[in-house]
Structure 1
Amino acid sequence: MMISASRRERTMTDNGKMAQVLKRWRSVFPTIFVSLFLFFTIFFLFGSKQVILVSFLTLFFKTKSTQDFTFRELIQAYGRILLAGLAAYGATLNLPLCILLNLLVPFLLVYLLTDKFTPKAYFVYGMAFVFLQLLPIPAKLLPVRIGALLYAFCFLTAVLYLHRKIFRKKRHYGTVRRGMANMALQLEKLSEGRRDQRDMADLVQMMYHMNQVIYASRNYRYLADRYGKINYYFMIVFQRFRYYMTELSEPKKCTAFKVQRYHRQLARVFRDVEQQMNEADNQELITEIHHFQSHERLEDEKLNQAMEFILGLIGFALKEAVSTDKANREREWRRSRGRTGSPKAFFRNFHPDRFQVRFALRLSVVLCISFAFCRITSLEHGYWFPMSAFLMLMPYSEESMLKLNNRIIGTVTGLFITFFLTEIFKTFWGHIGIIVVMTCLMYYVPVTSWTMPMYSTCYGMALTTLSLDTGHAIALRIVCVGLAAVTVWLANRFILPITAKSEFLKSVNDLLDIDEKLVGELQKSLYDEEDRSLLREYMMVSNLLSEEIRNYMKENMGENEKQFYSRLLPINRRLLSEIEQIHAYLKKYKVSSRENPAIEELLGNMEQALKRIRRGFTKNELNSFLTAGSEFRAYGKLEEEIYFNTLALNCMNSVARISEILPEKSPNNI
């Protein structure tokens, strides 16, 4: 009996593993199909010299197939690839152009497309620029290359739309729906007098994910498209709800019959939003929210006002969600240009402390050196040097060293396998068979593993050994990969390195800097001068920085170090929510400094306090200087508004708490 049970367990385990393998193959099949289809059609239609296009075009498909896209966005991306291809052709004409373009083009690609939150947005276009230099073509073949690219663009467009229709449904605010269900569950538990921190942790994680979605939808002119905008509104809803649950409500007081009834009915409203929210007509949901607001109230005016603001924003977001074009952009969300208006601000954008500037310069120098070396030495198949260097060099030094190690191990192993396979399969179709098998395996394994470069080495060597002796090809490959490894290692050490620790320290400083800027925008709102797009961007970046700090803590810190930042992040998150709610209140009731000079004084004091906090953290000179106290203060005409005064007092306390804990930690002690 026991033996039989053990066999059943092993069978179930084996079946589970097999199911996972099949699921993985199904998920990578579209990418494998695109790669093989492009390889064979381009090879036979446009010639072997154009097969180099397949690698970065397949990566483009793999990336875009996981995202929402519009036809206009595809055309823009194709335009960037085409321009990169033309620049690559120019770089192959002579040595001066090679040096100039390999310094300029990679710098522009990285600088314009990436930052610390999207560090690899340059990769497809950089790969196109690098790979299209690897096999120089004469001028007469340039129209053929352009024709091959245009053919590939048409195929990719068709297959991307087909993939979206068959394999993947368009996004319908899945995280928003999960968040609404989470809020309903928390309200139901609150009505029973209990609160589960795991529910709140799940909601916070959803907020971080939504920030990434919003940030990814931006471009040079607009902060977010319509899909990102709706995610932003609901992210603010979740942020306000979290504050309502953790800072305003008390579980013990929520079991009274009227409060209990209010929260249970509100939970039903939230579940209706979760289940019925759509992009065609949300009027019934909006009516349901308005009906709830007009018939249900909490006796605690502070809680009632807080929830009124949450419900008002949900109703507004539901109204805005009714659209057929989620990629549409609106003037209200146009990104601010004020930060680059002066020459000083313009040159500050190119300061070597900036993440994208540091990596852009490092990548440009490495590519310039490697391609110049190839032209000067005329080393046979020397293009493996810049190709390997590009694939090894990553924004962060730690990741780059991991890639370097994986590339060396994968290359050596791949060459060993290639030696035996090419001895067995010596014919043209034998080599093609190796390419097909390696393509399948290459896209099946994780990108971060050493097996990925192993299979890609076999793929490349199978092509190379069609026209070159196997032993000679292996020796050249080892030399070029070795040169690339040495170059990348030196670049990571001496050319503006970016380490996880250095960026962590910058993230903490930036987080404190954004707190100060947000209060500055609050002050401007008293005079109707604030830039709402800028304020929204600060809100998103603050959340993204918090997530970066949290991830670094988990992976790189001991328990003693974690304690400080585990205290800082919740306080900063609370301050962020308080600032956003104060801003919403001031705008809704059109509060001015003339009518309420005490508010201007409050915000001015907080801004000065935050300036000193940031300066103190940076220079390790911080002393406690702000005491919020526990005395309640009413602000002018708002003296009856308990919700606002609670926010104001809590906001002062949050700033004071940050000032109290920061002397415990300085950058030198991390």
Structure 2
Amino acid sequence: MADDQGKQKQQAASAARPPLTHVLAKLLRKTLPASAFFMVLFWTISGLFGIAHVIPALCYTALFNSRLHAYNSPAQYAHFFGMSILTLVAARIATLNIPLCIVTNIAMPFVFLYMRSSQFTPMRYYRYLMLFVFLQLKPQLLDNFWKELMVIGTCCIALTVALIIAGRVLHTSDQCTARLHVLINQLADTLEHLSNKASSNAPQDEFLQLHADFVKLTDNARKNAGVNPRMRVVLDMYAMLAERTAYLVGQFKWDENKTSSYAADLHKLAELTRKASYSTKSVQRSEAITHAEALLSEAHTIQDEDFRRFFCSYLHMILLVLREPNQHTNRLWRMSPRLRIRVASFYKHPSISSFELSFSVRCAIVLTVGFTISLAFPISHLYWFPINAFLLTQPYPAESMRRMRTRTLGTVLGCLFVHMLSTLSLPLWAVLAVCMILVMGRYASTQGKIPMAFFGSSYALSIVSLSTGERYAIFMRLVCLIAAVIFVFIVTRLIVPTSDRALFRANLDELFTLIESYWALLRASLHTNINAVTSSEAIWHMHTVHAQADSYVNALPQSTSEGKNYHDAAQHVLACQRKLTVGLEQLNYFIRLDGASKQEYPTLEQFMTIAEACSNPFVADKRLETAENLVGKLQEEELRALLNQYLTRAKSLATALDHLNETASACLKAR
């Protein structure tokens, strides 16, 4: 009997496992575009300029891979050329002499890391910083600057042409729109199915899942600088609609005995949502807006007060979505609110405990020391020391430690492979053919794993062995790797140590900076139209920082009473911050829907000024009592409720912060 059950489990597992042909086809689809691009670029550069100039091909293949499934605007193609020229000029300056090498290698990590990356997009810098590193590997090639400029120009042209062709073949510009239509229709279907649901959390769960799908699509668009701005607005607005609908569904008590009576009205909302899905043109939007306004005017006929509130709230939100693309941000001759958020985001980083500054300093130390040694001692292939050190320096120290193991093992295996290959005494064409196969293996592998290190090391050693003795190349590769591992370990653990607790405190400080900036944004919205993406990006950043801090708190040990107290206190602070952020978001929606009259704007602005002043550093002092008196002067009931709710939550957060500081001190004493 047991044997039969075992056989059944094996058969079920075999049935669930995809056929080998499907696995191979998927692997080929993943590998072929990057491998084909690299091979074309490799042979193009080799034929035009010589095999010594093929080093940038790896960097541009990485760029091609990162942009393959993204929307690429004309500005993005121009960006390739501009950033490449900047990188080439910086590399040329760095190879002139040791003082310039030190200055440039300190500066460039800050240009690409500190200015362009965050703990949520840590690898955004990678391709251009990688190009800067690779261009320094052979300083003698940069002596002929104009020739190297032509090499870089050829790479940029090849990258542009390849991405344009890939965009036509893969229809990347249409994928975002197609996915948006699918999600909006799912939203409409879920609305229509609400009347069939029993009283449970299922409807809210479905909307929350839709919200997560919208957010994923929106995040991809936000991280992709080339996405059409209008599309980014639409994506943000629908993500907001799904989240708000989930909230409304959760607030509304779905009575199992009444759900069938809501069917007709829910069908109207679903029909409007489907119409909104294809309202991409001005005329279509106007028709959808007219339809929504007509439904809103009929809402008073709904007898159930709670459902009428849900019905009207959804209509208000979808009207906001439909009207947003017609809104224009006033271009005033002053710093825009969006720019203010970006400036605030820049000034949040100066602490060494912050991710951006810590990572920038580690990379600057590694590149400066590595390339100074390489430039000072003209030893053949000593450049493998800085390149290995750079590749081992990862955004998070734990990943650097893991790469030390995987890269070491992969390199050793690669050295053994090249040694065995050399015993075959293959002709040049055969060695190059093997190199192309190794490249395909490299792009089929997962980043940071042993296979990728093996294929990368084997490719590099095979190319170098064409002009240098195989034994010397293997010796230098291993010596430079060992030196790089020791050096990066010292930098990561001793010189610039980064603790999770320090990053958690930095995240808390950043949250308060963003709350302060968001109040400034809300004040500005009283006087001018603020693009939805601007406020949405601020809220998204708050949620993302909160999620990062929450993951740290969830991983805290609770084996001791002090540890459990600190865990509970930190969790309470984050819960209070989350509630505060949700309140700000609700206030933003309320203002955007013209919920407050113009006559109340002066009093509301005074409240916002006080709240902004108390946000960073976050305090609950007598100024909040003044703000509480201002709330009493407002006539709009819902506005008063929102502001009083903020004051209550602000006081709770201030108390929670004091308790967190006390428990942190107790933990330090216990150690």
Q: Normalising by structure 1, what TM-score?
A: 0.82
Of 230, 236, 242, which residue of structure 2 is paired with 1:232? Answer: 236
Q: Distance in 1 between matches of 2:61 and 2:233?
A: 30
Q: Distance in 2 between matches of 1:464 and 1:361?
A: 32
Q: Which residue of 2 is the match for residue 195 of structure 1?
A: 201
Q: Distance in 2 between matches of 1:176 and 1:557?
A: 44
Percent of aligned pairs sharing the same letter: 20
* Deviation sequence 1:255-276 (CA, Å, 0-9, x none): 26655543343234334545x4
Partner SS for 1:374: helix
Q: Which residue of 2 is the match for residue 251 of structure 1?
A: 254
Question: Would the alpha carbon gap of residues 145 and 609 (structure 1) be closer, same or farther in structure 2, given more than 3 Å must change?
Answer: closer
Partner SS for 2:432: helix
Moved more, 303-312 or 473-482: 303-312
* Deviation sequence 1:59-104 (CA, Å, 0-9, x none): 0100111321112211112211122112212322222222222222
Is the 1:28–1:443 Cα contact (8 Å) retained in structure 2?
yes
* Deviation sequence 1:10-29 (CA, Å, 0-9, x none): 76456434413321211221
Q: Which residue of 2 is the match for residue 109 of structure 1?
A: 112
The equivalences for 1:29-48 within 5 A come to 29-48=32-51
Query: Which residue identity lines up with residue 206 of structure 2 in the other structure?
Result: D
Q: Distance in 1 between matches of 2:606 and 2:431?
A: 76
* Deviation sequence 1:459-504 (CA, Å, 0-9, x none): 0000011122212111111111111111211111234344444323
Partner SS for 1:172: helix
Moved more, 398-407 or 556-565: 556-565
Of 43, 50, 58, which residue of structure 1 is paired with 2:53? Answer: 50
Q: Distance in 2 between matches of 1:422 and 1:444?
A: 24
Q: Which residue of 1 is the match for residue 80 of structure 2?
A: 77
Q: Which residue of 1 is the match for residue 213 of structure 2?
A: 206
In structure 1, list runs of 5 or more residues that go unmatched.
617-621
**1:304 Cα deviation after fit:** 4.6
Q: Which residue of 2 is the match for residue 136 of structure 1?
A: 139
Q: Distance in 2 between matches of 1:187 and 1:363?
A: 54
Of 49, 56, 64, which residue of structure 2 is paired with 1:61? Answer: 64
Is the 1:575–1:651 Cα contact (8 Å) retained in structure 2?
yes
Moved more, 168-177 or 99-108: 168-177
Q: Distance in 1 between matches of 2:188 and 2:642?
A: 21
Query: Which residue identity lines up with residue 577 of structure 1 in the other structure?
Result: V
The equivalences for 1:488-637 within 5 A come to 488-519=488-519, 521-522=521-522, 535-552=535-552, 572-586=577-591, 588-589=593-594, 591=596, 595=600, 614=618, 636-637=634-635
Is the 1:396–1:500 Cα contact (8 Å) retained in structure 2?
no
Is the 2:442–2:452 Cα contact (8 Å) retained in structure 1?
yes
Q: Which residue of 2 is the match for residue 619 of structure 1?
A: none
Question: Would the alpha carbon gap of residues 587 and 473 (structure 1) be closer, same or farther in structure 2, given more than 3 Å must change?
Answer: closer
Q: Distance in 2 between matches of 1:227 and 1:204?
A: 17
Is the 1:210–1:232 Cα contact (8 Å) retained in structure 2?
no
Q: Distance in 1 between matches of 2:391 and 2:420?
A: 26
Question: Would the alpha carbon gap of residues 599 and 80 (structure 1) be closer, same or farther in structure 2, given more than 3 Å must change?
Answer: closer
Of 288, 291, 302, which residue of structure 1 is paired with 2:291? Answer: 288
Is the 1:465–1:473 Cα contact (8 Å) retained in structure 2?
yes
Is the 1:91–1:101 Cα contact (8 Å) retained in structure 2?
yes
Q: Which residue of 2 is the match for residue 21 of structure 1?
A: 24
Question: Would the alpha carbon gap of residues 12 and 252 (structure 1) be closer, same or farther in structure 2, given more than 3 Å must change?
Answer: closer
Question: Would the alpha carbon gap of residues 610 and 389 (structure 1) be closer, same or farther in structure 2, given more than 3 Å must change?
Answer: same
Partner SS for 2:19: helix
Question: Would the alpha carbon gap of residues 301 and 210 (structure 1) be closer, same or farther in structure 2, given more than 3 Å must change?
Answer: farther
Q: Distance in 2 between matches of 1:303 and 1:654?
A: 28
Is the 1:334–1:533 Cα contact (8 Å) retained in structure 2?
no
Question: Would the alpha carbon gap of residues 655 and 308 (structure 1) be closer, same or farther in structure 2, given more than 3 Å must change?
Answer: farther
**1:307 Cα deviation after fit:** 5.0
* Deviation sequence 1:434-455 (CA, Å, 0-9, x none): 2111101000011131211111
Is the 1:293–1:308 Cα contact (8 Å) retained in structure 2?
yes
Question: Would the alpha carbon gap of residues 590 and 525 (structure 1) be closer, same or farther in structure 2, given more than 3 Å must change?
Answer: farther
Question: Would the alpha carbon gap of residues 581 and 10 (structure 1) be closer, same or farther in structure 2, given more than 3 Å must change?
Answer: closer
Query: Which residue identity lines up with residue 228 of structure 1 in the other structure?
Result: R
Question: Would the alpha carbon gap of residues 440 and 83 (structure 1) be closer, same or farther in structure 2, given more than 3 Å must change?
Answer: same
**1:125 Cα deviation after fit:** 0.8
Q: Distance in 1 between matches of 2:350 and 2:658?
A: 32
C-alpha RMSD of the superposition: 4.2
Q: Distance in 2 between matches of 1:288 and 1:144?
A: 63
Partner SS for 1:378: coil
Q: Which residue of 2 is the match for residue 181 of structure 1?
A: 186
**1:129 Cα deviation after fit:** 0.8
Query: Which residue identity lines up with residue 127 of structure 1 in the other structure?
Result: M
Is the 1:217–1:225 Cα contact (8 Å) retained in structure 2?
no
**1:176 Cα deviation after fit:** 7.0
Q: Which residue of 1 is the match for residue 429 of structure 2?
A: 429
Is the 2:389–2:488 Cα contact (8 Å) retained in structure 1?
yes
Question: Would the alpha carbon gap of residues 501 and 164 (structure 1) be closer, same or farther in structure 2, given more than 3 Å must change?
Answer: farther
Partner SS for 2:172: coil
The equivalences for 1:22-421 within 5 A come to 22-137=25-140, 141-170=144-173, 171-172=176-177, 174=179, 177-178=182-183, 181-182=186-187, 184-185=189-190, 188-189=193-194, 192=197, 193-196=199-202, 198-206=205-213, 208-210=215-217, 212-213=219-220, 215-217=222-224, 225-246=229-250, 248-252=251-255, 255=258, 259=262, 261-274=264-277, 276=278, 278=280, 282-283=284-285, 284-297=287-300, 298-299=302-303, 304=308, 308=312, 310-318=314-322, 331=331, 336-338=338-340, 350=350, 352-421=352-421
Q: Distance in 1 between matches of 2:448 and 2:142?
A: 38
Q: Distance in 2 between matches of 1:212 and 1:146?
A: 35
In structure 2, list runs of 5 or more residues that go unmatched.
none
Partner SS for 1:380: coil
* Deviation sequence 1:126-160 (CA, Å, 0-9, x none): 11111011112356633222222222222211110
**1:367 Cα deviation after fit:** 0.8
Q: Normalising by structure 2, what TM-score?
A: 0.82
Q: Distance in 2 between matches of 1:635 and 1:264?
A: 41
Q: Distance in 2 between matches of 1:546 and 1:180?
A: 30
